[in-house]
């Protein structure tokens, strides 16, 4: 019985951690923009503004080096992205204004200058932050800024007032192309961020669930959660506990009891998982494991039986180690039964549970309790024996017919391995 936690994981915190690790790669991208800027300046046909462009290159290189230094030193903070967004947008707007105010220059010539190619590089740089806000702000600043300086240039240079319709169309197409690319980038960032959030959430849920369930069940719960309906199936149920644990715990310090239970449960969980079973619930020193639910298999009973034998061997080896260290030896009892169960998510308000229940569960528990009176390590029902290969029990096992099971009206045939015998 494992609780299904209805609270959300701190997905935003995990995404922020991913963004923090991505900061260095993001700021290094600025140097690519710097390279594009340098190449575009070198390809400019005019030499009048090269000195100004060189100054801009140096200033932009300095801000890029500062960004890398802040990231490497651990001083970079996400809010610093906003000043860099404004600096990048100001650079693009300045380059556009610089060419628009050249006497006799048209919009087409101004917008076609190679140095403005950096606008698309910086747009991609903004997108690397995986946030729609910086992309939208950068695109808005560039678009509105370019439109503003264009309007000013019309009044500053009367020559441009007579711009032809072909030039107006060409200029509009270039501005619209930039706006369209920016819109696409915003949509991609939103979609990718949504996918990342979903992937992180799903991965976190499955990682948590895989600690308790088989991979198939973990996927089922991660996708269905509390909506996984109850269903009836056959399964093998195993109960195990530490013999005389209550009296033993009264003689031990609380820290020693907690340590013992932790080591014991760890060994049980590891063994059950290796035999493709699922630990359903812990009850103090008692553990319930299920084999075959929600997907029954012809080998469920065999795997449950082999798991029980393996488990007894491992736990007795562990007990011998404890005895060698001067600690009290331990004894264990196991009960196994195969039958119909009802399982799934049992709703309980804020504390829903994924578990199985039914007569097969009750009988397996009763068989485990009978191991004390029978002086047995393992007690199995006839339903388990019917599903084991012929001769699987060996000569060490005993059987009792028509045994009265505590809490049940019907008698049962049981087979058990005495304490003095080792499991086959």
Please write the tens of the pLDDT for every residue from 277-333: 988 888 889 999 999 988 888 999 999 999 999 999 999 999 999 999 888 889 999
Q: How far apart are CA 281 and CA 238, in angstroms?
A: 11
CA angle 26, 41, 171 (to 5 degrees): 90
> Looking at residue 161, what is its pLDDT?
45
| Number of domains, the chain | 2
Reply yes or no on whether the pLDDT at 215 is more than 50: yes
The reply to whether 122 falls in a domain is yes
101 confidence band (pLDDT: 50, 70, 90): low
260 and 185, same domain (yes or no): no
**CA dist., res. 129 & res. 135, Å (int):** 9
Q: Could you tell me if 397 and 417 are in contact, meaning their C-beta atoms sit under 8 angstroms apart? A: yes
Between these two residues, 5 and 47, which has the higher pLDDT value? 47
pLDDT tier at 364, thresholds 50, 70, 90? very high
CA geometry: angle 415, 417, 419, nearest 5 deg: 145
Res. 33: pLDDT tops 90? no
The whole-number pLDDT of residue 311 equals 95
Report how far Cα 202 is from the mean position of its chain's Cα atoms. 5
Q: Are residues 26 and 152 in the same domain?
A: yes
Residue 347: domain span: 225-418
* Residue 368 covered by a domain: yes
CB of 290 closer than 8 Å to CB of 278: yes
Element containing residue 354 per DSSP (H, E): strand 352-357
Predicted pLDDT of residue 158: 46
Q: What is the pLDDT of residue 20?
A: 64
The domain that holds 324 is classified in CATH as 3.30.70.1230
Rounded to two decimals, what is the model's pTM? 0.55
Q: Is 60 exceeded by the pLDDT of residue 214?
A: no
Do 197 and 189 meet the contact criterion of CB atoms below 8 Å apart?
no
Q: Please indicate, yes or no, if residue 214 is contained in any of the structural domains.
A: no
**241 & 98 share domain:** no
Do 121 and 95 share a domain, yes or no?
Answer: yes
Instruction: Give the list of residues 6+ apart from residue 83 with CB closer than 8 angstroms, or none.
Output: none
Per-range mean pLDDT, top range of 114-118, 383-387, 405-409: 383-387
Note the pLDDT of residue 112. 53
Per-position b or e across 287-310, b if 16+ CB within 10 A of its CB: bbbbbbbbeeeeebbbbbbbbbbe
Judged against a pLDDT cut of 90, whether residue 200 lies above it is answered with no
**Mean pLDDT (the chain, rounded):** 78
Between residues 7 and 10, the one the model is more confident about: 10
For residues 184 and 63, membership in a common domain is answered with: yes
Q: 236 and 172 in one domain? A: no
In a shared domain, residues 137 and 276: no
What would the pLDDT profile of 250-270 be if each residue is shown by its tens digit? 888 888 899 999 999 999 999
Over pLDDT 70: what percentage of the chain?
Answer: 71
pLDDT at 415: 92
Q: Is the predicted pLDDT of residue 162 greater than 80, yes or no? A: no
Q: Is residue 41 part of a domain?
A: yes
Which of 207, 236, 269 terminates a domain? The answer is 207
Residue 363: name the closest of 410, 329, 304 by CA: 410
Statement to judge: residues 197 and 74 lie in one domain: yes
Lowest mean pLDDT among 25-29, 55-59, 240-244: 25-29
In a shared domain, residues 87 and 229: no
Residue 204's pLDDT band, with cuts at 50, 70 and 90, is low
């Amino acid at each position: 019985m494992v609780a299904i936690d209805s609270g959300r994981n701190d997905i935003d915190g995990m995404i922020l951690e991913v963004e923090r690790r991505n900061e260095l790669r993001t700021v290094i991208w600025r140097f690519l923009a710097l390279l594009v800027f340098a190449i575009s300046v070198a390809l400019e046909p005019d030499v009048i503004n090269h000195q100004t462009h060189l100054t801009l290159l140096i200033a932009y290189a300095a801000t890029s080096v500062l960004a890398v230094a802040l990231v490497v030193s651990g001083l970079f903070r996400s809010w610093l992205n906003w000043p860099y967004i404004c600096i990048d947008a100001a650079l693009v707007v300045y380059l556009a204004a610089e060419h628009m105010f050249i006497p006799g220059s048209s919009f087409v010539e101004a917008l076609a200058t190679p140095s403005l190619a950096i606008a698309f590089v910086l747009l991609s740089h903004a997108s690397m932050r995986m946030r729609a806000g910086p992309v939208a702000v950068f695109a808005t600043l560039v678009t509105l800024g370019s439109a503003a300086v264009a309007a000013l240039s019309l009044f500053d240079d009367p020559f441009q007032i007579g711009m032809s319709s072909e030039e107006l169309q060409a200029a509009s197409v270039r501005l619209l192309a930039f706006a369209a690319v920016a819109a696409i980038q915003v949509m991609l960032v939103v979609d990718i961020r949504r996918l990342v959030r979903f992937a992180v959430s799903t991965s976190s849920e499955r990682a948590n669930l895989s600690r308790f369930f088989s991979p198939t069940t973990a996927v089922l719960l991660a996708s269905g959660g509390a909506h996984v309906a109850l269903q009836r199936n056959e399964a093998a149920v195993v109960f195990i506990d530490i013999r005389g644990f209550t009296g033993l715990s009264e003689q031990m310090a609380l820290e020693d009891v907690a340590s013992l239970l932790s080591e014991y449960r760890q060994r049980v969980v590891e063994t059950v998982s290796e035999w493709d079973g699922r630990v359903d619930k812990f009850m103090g020193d008692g553990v319930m494991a299920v084999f075959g639910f929600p997907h029954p298999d012809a080998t469920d009973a065999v795997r449950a039986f082999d798991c029980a034998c393996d488990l007894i061997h491992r736990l007795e080896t562990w007990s011998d180690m404890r005895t060698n260290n001067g600690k009290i030896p331990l004894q264990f009892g196991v009960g196994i039964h195969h039958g119909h169960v009802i399982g799934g998510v049992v709703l309980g308000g804020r504390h829903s549970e994924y578990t199985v229940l039914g007569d097969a569960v009750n009988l397996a528990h009763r068989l485990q309790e009978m191991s004390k009176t029978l002086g047995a390590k393992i007690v199995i029902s006839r339903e388990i024996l019917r599903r084991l290969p012929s001769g699987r029990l060996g000569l060490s096992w005993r059987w009792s017919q028509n045994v009265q099971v505590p809490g049940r009206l019907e008698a049962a045939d049981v087979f058990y391995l005495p304490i003095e015998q080792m499991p086959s």
